[in-house]
Structure 1
């Protein structure tokens, strides 16, 4: 049985992030159930200048028909509840939104050429640490966030986010 398109797109987005983590020499884990909006925990094993095993928590979203304006990805797929699970500075472990722009057609997710496998299209990151939470968690109301396209999520950026996680 093949996954329905919505689940297929979401799974690809999660796998996209896992591939970046693996390429960066990082490890990832998931909680046994999602109780607070964390899809993956990503950490750098061992001792670093920031201490032992710095880590981040991420919520992963995908978008197949992105809207870009003034150098920003306009992402409207967060509910107020999801936003509240990312916003604010009072988390023990830093949290990020990862938005992965995936192709609209699943047959375009990857491409193989001699000596390479390409994953399409791109991932972006955003911290909502400086944003206030909504007074009421409302899973039905949506909020848009603007993610600078300069916040491209690649191997180096992911490693930097994790290594700098204490700040």
Structure 2
């Protein structure tokens, strides 16, 4: 079994992978995280923004969210992590994804006749409007307000990457594809 913290973090990353897969997007990961980015998520093909528009994301999790008004107060980034997401000096937009997970790992997922349920919910925030630290430290935390309105869904994830994305529409007839029989 995984250590509880590693398990929680892995589940949060897998939650984002499943959501991206449902949105028809591609997820890639650098072999080493030196840049403060867990994933690159991209839409394959052409858009008005060029080929394969993308975003970079840092995924964090919490099982004990601190909600205040219409946002979560998230204290899980140190100054160095924060500075790798803050500001506008990036060629690819960067986001913090916060996945709220149950306190008990055996509640992360449930299977019933309607399908697989992943718990709980993911949120996003851009830190482009915040200034990075000139000399960031790893021993000091930074509070980030993550709006509760910024729920990660198939549609919102697609629109973070390509604002012109249309919501997914269900096919007229059920599709039978490999692996679904």
The CA distance in 1 between the partners of 2:143 and 2:33, in whole Å, is 22
The CA distance in 1 between the partners of 2:132 and 2:49, in whole Å, is 28
The CA distance in 2 between the partners of 1:130 and 1:72, in whole Å, is 16
Give the number of the structure whose alpha-carbon radius of gyration is greater: 2
The DSSP-based 3-state class of the residue aligned with 2:18 is helix
Q: TM-score, normalised by structure 1?
A: 0.96
Conservation of the 8 A alpha-carbon contact between 1:50 and 1:164: no
The CA distance in 1 between the partners of 2:157 and 2:72, in whole Å, is 18
1:113 Cα deviation (Å)? Answer: 1.1
The DSSP-based 3-state class of the residue aligned with 1:28 is strand
Answer yes or no: is 1:74 the counterpart of 2:73. yes
The CA distance in 1 between the partners of 2:89 and 2:143, in whole Å, is 22
1:164 Cα deviation (Å)? Answer: 3.4
Q: TM-score, normalised by structure 2?
A: 0.89
Answer yes or no: is 1:55 the counterpart of 2:48. no
Gaps of 5+ in 2: 165-181
The CA distance in 2 between the partners of 1:7 and 1:63, in whole Å, is 12
Runs of 4+ in 1 over 6 A off after TM superposition: none
Q: Provide the aligned length of Structure 1 versus Structure 2.
A: 164
The CA distance in 2 between the partners of 1:23 and 1:11, in whole Å, is 18
Conservation of the 8 A alpha-carbon contact between 1:41 and 1:55: yes
Structure-2 residue corresponding to 1:12: 11
Conservation of the 8 A alpha-carbon contact between 1:58 and 1:97: yes
Instruction: Between the two structures, name the one with larger relative contact order (CA 8 Å, sep ≥ 6).
Output: 1
Superposed CA offset, 1:20-54 (max 9, x none): 00000000000010111100000000011221100
C-alpha RMSD of the superposition: 1.0
